């Protein structure tokens, strides 16, 4: 299997707080409904498990003894800090080479630190309720004031929390260099979550110089402590030969370990890997990832139900999965839901709803939805016809490399719809589409070339796909 082409492989996604925050107890987004509790066409909202995959972060309720008003900063006892820790400056080039002290690898704010580097344990325990309160109220400035003295004194949990504040740019200016600095200080003390973050920075070259070899060493340290996202990332590095010699069996071992620990990314990757050889197992892995709340997994589980992959075909359940993915903000899910409404898959056809959801997907940048939306405007499907809007969205589709969009753009130029008629510009786009193997575009290109040679540029009979032109390419 070519692992570089697997659709959902976020080795480390440092552009999403929900994935890159194994330390900070940020307020969670609205909980996603569990896939197994979904009736055909309807979803029940449930709270996700606290160990939700791939970095989903649970909101931490403030201590009931903390006043509901302003947050007061508890300063750590200076003597306690000095007695229990020493500050160490770590350069970018340093990396631990031996297993470090065991530490929970998927942390919220820790209340009772009991390992080396948890400076001022009693002072930290006193500060944690107020830190939770600040985070719950999104008062990140107060959170920073609480964290900084502990982090400077060497408390690894505070250092990791501070790294996340600098990553998200809350309470402090966003600064990946500072984030990497604080994460590495915690990582060198054995903090698994911080080791995972540093590995991610090294892999992507964010905040530090890009160094895949160093990234895999950090992932291994965190993975050995049971950090599921690090296990997933390490497994993918082995499978793709990034920073380490390719060892597929070792990679699969780490993916399976991560999947057992609830990593949605690992479950999705294993589902993709087993889809052909063992569709039933593939369905089980995808179902587990969907249970964790992954929008992508719900999108793909909808495809499994629609196509009967590892399970009996069930259009109602397919629709339910697409609806959940769409409502969770997945642009691919929004497009799939729009197509389901258009084609009546698991639901009565509703062209207005189809237009609504396809538009949402297009506005979020789904390039295939560009084409669909253009066809809605061109043909007046669920919306008033508009050649100008059709040209806008079909042009975006064509420029993004969609062969169907390129063929349709050629047709618009050929017919002068929303744009001045230009057979030669039309021919250019037909040829681009044909070069990608689209037979209809090849026929159109040959027709235009013939008419131009004959000097008969006003008599064209263009071929274009219908509004269901991408029905086989639902995702």
pLDDT at 451 (0 to 100) = 87
pLDDT band for 472, please (50, 70, 90 cuts). very low
Find the radius of gyration of the CA atoms of the chain: 26
* ∠ Cα 294 297 298 (to 5°): 90
pLDDT at 121 (0 to 100) = 80
pLDDT band for 432, please (50, 70, 90 cuts). very high
- The pLDDT tens digits of the residues spanning 268-317 come to 999 999 999 999 999 999 999 999 999 999 999 999 999 999 999 999 99
d(CA 450, CA 448): 5
pLDDT at 464 (0 to 100) = 60
Question: Average model confidence (pLDDT) for the chain?
Answer: 78
d(CA 389, CA 418): 8
pLDDT band for 462, please (50, 70, 90 cuts). low
pLDDT at 439 (0 to 100) = 95
- What is each CA distance from 390 to 47, 331, 351, 411, 428, in whole angstroms? 41, 19, 17, 12, 19
pLDDT band for 35, please (50, 70, 90 cuts). very low
* ∠ Cα 125 130 134 (to 5°): 140
- What is each CA distance from 387 to 148, 306, 331, 397, in whole angstroms? 57, 33, 24, 15
pLDDT reading at 457 higher than 70? no
Is residue 69 helix, strand or coil? Answer: coil
Instruction: Give the lowest-confidence range in 46-55, 124-133, 463-472.
Output: 46-55
In this structure, the dihedral spanned by the alpha carbons of residues 365, 370, 373 and 374, taken in order and rounded to 10 degrees, is: 150
CB 418 within 8 A of CB 385: no
- Output DSSP code: residue 365: T
Shortest CA distance to 413 belongs to which of 437, 390, 442? 390
Token pair listed for 364 = 């979020």
Instruction: Give the lowest-confidence range in 99-113, 168-182, 362-376, 388-402.
Output: 99-113
d(CA 162, CA 364): 31
CB 59 within 8 A of CB 27: yes
pLDDT at 3 (0 to 100) = 54
Token pair listed for 444 = 């159109």
The percent of residues above 70 in pLDDT, for the chain, comes to: 71
pLDDT reading at 39 higher than 80? no
């Amino acid at each position: 299997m070519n692992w570089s082409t697997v659709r959902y492989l976020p080795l480390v996604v440092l552009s999403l707080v929900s994935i890159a925050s194994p330390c900070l107890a940020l307020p969670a987004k609205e909980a996603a409904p569990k896939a197994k509790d979904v009736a055909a066409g309807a979803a029940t909202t449930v709270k996700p498990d606290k160990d939700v995959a791939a970095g989903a972060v649970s909101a931490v309720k403030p201590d009931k003894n903390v006043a509901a008003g302003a947050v007061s900063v508890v300063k750590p006892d200076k003597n306690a800090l000095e007695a229990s820790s020493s500050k160490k400056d770590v350069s970018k080039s340093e990396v631990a080479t031996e297993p470090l002290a065991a530490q929970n690898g998927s942390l919220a704010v820790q209340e009772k630190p009991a390992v080396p580097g948890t400076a001022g344990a009693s002072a930290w325990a006193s500060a944690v309720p107020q830190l939770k309160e600040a985070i719950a109220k999104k008062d990140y400035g107060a959170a920073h004031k609480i964290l900084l003295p502990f982090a400077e004194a060497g408390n690894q949990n505070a250092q990791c929390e501070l790294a996340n504040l600098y990553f998200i740019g809350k309470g402090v200016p966003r600064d990946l260099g500072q984030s990497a600095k604080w994460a590495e200080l915690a990582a060198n003390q054995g903090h698994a979550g911080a080791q995972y973050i540093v590995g991610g920075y090294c892999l992507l070259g964010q905040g530090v110089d890009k160094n895949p070899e160093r990234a895999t060493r950090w992932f291994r340290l965190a993975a050995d402590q049971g950090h599921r996202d690090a296990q997933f990332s390490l497994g993918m590095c082995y499978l793709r030969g990034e920073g380490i010699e390719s060892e597929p069996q070792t990679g699969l071992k780490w993916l399976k370990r991560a999947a057992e620990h609830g990593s949605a990314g690992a479950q999705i990757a294993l589902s993709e890997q087993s889809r052909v050889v063992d569709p039933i197992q593939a369905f089980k892995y995808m179902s587990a990832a969907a249970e964790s709340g992954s929008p992508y997994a719900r999108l793909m589980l909808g495809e499994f139900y629609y196509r009967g992959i590892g399970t009996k075909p069930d259009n109602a359940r397919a629709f339910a999965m697409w609806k959940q993915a769409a409502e969770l903000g997945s642009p691919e899910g929004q497009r799939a839901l729009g197509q389901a409404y258009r084609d009546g898959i698991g639901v009565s056809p509703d062209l207005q709803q189809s237009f609504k959801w396809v538009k949402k997907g297009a506005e979020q940048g789904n390039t295939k939805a560009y084409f669909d939306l253009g066809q809605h405007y061109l043909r007046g499907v669920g919306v008033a016809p508009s050649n100008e809007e059709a040209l806008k969205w079909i042009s975006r589709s064509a420029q993004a490399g969609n062969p169907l969009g390129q063929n349709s753009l050629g047709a618009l130029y050929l017919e002068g719809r929303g744009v001045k008629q230009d057979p030669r510009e039309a021919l250019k786009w037909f040829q681009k589409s044909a070069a990608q193997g689209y037979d209809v575009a090849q026929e159109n290109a040959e027709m235009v070339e013939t008419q131009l040679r004959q000097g008969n540029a006003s008599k064209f009979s263009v071929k274009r796909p219908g509004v269901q032109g991408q029905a086989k390419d639902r995702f």
